[in-house]
């Protein structure tokens, strides 16, 4: 007998993360490291599980190797289930040929067959690009309460930033009256988080019509939602008050890591009622040598610290040599920092090697310094060494 799921999730994980530059060389954006231990996608996957959603389709496209290996069959998130569970859904070839996912809506359209196997009442659309902890069950409740066709999770953003988001205007009952994608003159500061719940028949119908529409970019924010709104569908906003961050740029990725070091971080990773699950690297407890000093930092398993670390985030397996000083920095997994190195306001990519005596970044630098994943950096030879007598 086929099990019916009330609500299944479709997680868009095809993001390229182009603005993350050398950190996404071989990596889709959802696989980018965050918070000393996690990858960005861990947050949405953990949210699903903690919200009681046990069926998740993960739509991958760009650079899927690392992401696929990371996701496996979903066991780290408890999503290796007999019924439902996690399924990786790359674009595939059909009888009439296959195409890449053209846009967010097209990605879901191409996987309507997957959704229908579960015959859900509701479909949650989320992306693997944001850091936040959210109970999707509350979103579903408000969707049902409003007898909505679609419910959009929204967050209040500073007016100055409003033109970077999809902005909603709502009436007194939070029904959406207007939706503008990245408006030059925003009429409100309620931003769409890219988290939607649709009643499945409504979404199904909307996707088919959107696909038939030539000239559509097949995107939820640009096409599907504006069309539904124009047609008078019942679209509601669901207000979210917690921490939510798009870590699409080097600056925002660095900032979001630093946010974790606040006295009372807005994003609590130590909340046992809302654990963030991830693939655990199986490393021993980290070791601080007798010379080490660590202040206001996050350090993961398997690190060996022999220098000084201030206001920094160290991922698993990082090594910091003697006499080195790490400040306001994010050091990704397995990076090896030599002796007498100074790293300030920087992100050092996964597996990078920074040789003895190097200096990276500066306290007054405007831009965050970046060492790419796997890069090998050596100090400039000193003059006397370069010209042996």
Q: Under the rule (CB under 8 A), what is the footprint of other proteins?
A: 35-37, 75-76, 263, 269-270, 275-278, 280, 282-301, 304, 309, 313-315
Q: In the complex, what is the shortest distance from the CB of residue 345 to other proteins, in angstroms, rounded to a whole number?
A: 18
Q: b vs e for 349-382, b when ≥16 Cβ sit within 10 Å of the residue's Cβ? A: bbbbbbeebbebbeeeeeebbbbbbebebeeeee
Q: What are the angstrom distances between the C-alpha of 280 and each of 231, 252, 350?
A: 47, 25, 16
Contacts 24+ apart (CB under 8 A), 309-315: 311/258, 311/261, 313/35, 313/36, 313/257, 313/258, 313/260, 313/261, 314/36, 314/286, 315/33, 315/36, 315/37, 315/350
DSSP of 89-141: E----BTTB-----SHHHHHHHTHHHHHHH--SEEEEEETTEEE---HHHHHH
Is 181 one of the annotated binding-site residues? yes
Of residues 19 and 286, the one with the C-beta less far from other proteins = 286
- Residues 105, 66: Cα–Cα separation, whole Å: 24
Q: In the complex, what is the shortest distance from the CB of residue 292 to other proteins, in angstroms, rounded to a whole number?
A: 5
Q: What burial class does residue 148 get, using C-beta atoms within 10 Å of its C-beta: 0-12 exposed, 13-18 middle, 19+ buried?
A: buried
Q: In the complex, what is the shortest distance from the CB of residue 209 to other proteins, in angstroms, rounded to a whole number?
A: 43
Q: In the complex, what is the shortest distance from the CB of residue 255 to other proteins, in angstroms, rounded to a whole number?
A: 18
Q: In the complex, what is the shortest distance from the CB of residue 69 to other proteins, in angstroms, rounded to a whole number?
A: 15
- Residues 286, 137: Cα–Cα separation, whole Å: 37
Is 85 one of the annotated binding-site residues? no
Of residues 37 and 342, the one with the C-beta less far from other proteins = 37
Q: In the complex, what is the shortest distance from the CB of residue 365 to other proteins, in angstroms, rounded to a whole number?
A: 23
Of residues 22 and 288, the one with the C-beta less far from other proteins = 288
Q: In the complex, what is the shortest distance from the CB of residue 264 to other proteins, in angstroms, rounded to a whole number?
A: 11
- Residues 101, 10: Cα–Cα separation, whole Å: 14
Is 101 one of the annotated binding-site residues? yes
Of residues 36 and 128, the one with the C-beta less far from other proteins = 36
Of residues 62 and 277, the one with the C-beta less far from other proteins = 277
Rounded (10°) CA dihedral 285, 287, 293, 294: -20
Give the CB-side neighbour count of residue 374, counting CA atoms within 13 A. Answer: 6
Q: Which of 237, 235, 236, 259 is nearest to 246 (CA)?
A: 259
Q: Are strands 166-170 and 293-295 parallel, antiparallel or unpaired?
A: unpaired
Of residues 108 and 331, the one with the C-beta less far from other proteins = 331
Of residues 156 and 296, the one with the C-beta less far from other proteins = 296
Of residues 183 and 265, the one with the C-beta less far from other proteins = 265
Of residues 3 and 291, the one with the C-beta less far from other proteins = 291
Q: What are phi and psi of 43, to 5 degrees?
A: -70, -45
Distance of alpha carbon 335 from the chain centroid: 22
Q: In the complex, what is the shortest distance from the CB of residue 361 to other proteins, in angstroms, rounded to a whole number?
A: 21
Q: In the complex, what is the shortest distance from the CB of residue 35 to other proteins, in angstroms, rounded to a whole number?
A: 7
| Residues annotated in a binding site for alpha-D-glucose 1-phosphate | 101, 166, 181-182, 192
| Residues annotated in a binding site | 101, 166, 181-182, 192
């Amino acid at each position: 007998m086929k099990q019916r799921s009330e609500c299944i999730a479709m997680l868009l994980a095809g993001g390229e993360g182009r603005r993350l530059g050398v950190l996404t060389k071989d990596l889709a954006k959802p696989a980018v490291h965050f918070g000393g231990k996690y990858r960005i996608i861990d947050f949405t996957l953990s949210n699903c599980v903690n919200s009681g959603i046990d069926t998740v389709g993960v739509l991958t496209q760009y650079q899927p190797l690392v992401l696929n290996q990371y996701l496996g069959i979903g066991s780290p998130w408890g999503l290796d289930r007999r019924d439902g569970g996690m399924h990786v859904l790359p674009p595939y070839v059909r009888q009439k040929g296959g195409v890449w996912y053209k846009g967010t809506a097209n990605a879901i359209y191409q996987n309507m067959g997957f959704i229908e196997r579960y015959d859900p009442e509701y479909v949650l659309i989320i992306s693997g690009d944001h850091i936040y902890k959210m109970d999707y069950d509350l979103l579903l409740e408000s969707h049902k309460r409003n007898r909505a066709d679609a419910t959009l999770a929204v967050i209040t953003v500073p007016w100055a930033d409003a033109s970077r988001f999809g902005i909603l205007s709502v009436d007194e009952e939070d029904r959406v009256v207007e939706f503008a994608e990245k408006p030059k003159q925003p009429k409100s500061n309620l931003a769409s988080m890219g988290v939607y719940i649709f009643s499945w028949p409504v979404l199904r119908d909307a996707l088919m019509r959107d696909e038939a529409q030539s000239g559509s970019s097949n995107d939820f924010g640009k096409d599907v939602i504006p069309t539904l709104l124009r047609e008078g569908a019942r679209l509601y906003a669901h207000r979210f008050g917690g921490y939510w961050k798009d870590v699409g740029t080097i600056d925002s990725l660095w900032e979001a890591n630093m946010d974790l070091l606040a006295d009372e971080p807005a994003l609590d990773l130590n909340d046992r009622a809302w654990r963030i699950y991830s693939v655990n690297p199986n490393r021993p407890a980290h070791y601080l040598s007798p010379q080490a000093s660590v202040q206001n930092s996050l350090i993961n398993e398997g690190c060996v610290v022999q220098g000084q670390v201030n206001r920094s985030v160290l991922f698993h397996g990082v090594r910091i040599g003697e006499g080195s000083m790490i400040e306001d920095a994010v050091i990704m997994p397995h990076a090896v920092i030599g002796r007498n190195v100074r790293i300030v306001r920087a992100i050092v990519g996964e597996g990078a090697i920074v040789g003895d005596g190097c200096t990276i970044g500066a306290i007054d630098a405007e831009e965050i310094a970046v060492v790419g994943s796997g890069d090998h950096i050596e100090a400039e030879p000193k003059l006397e060494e370069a010209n042996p007598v």
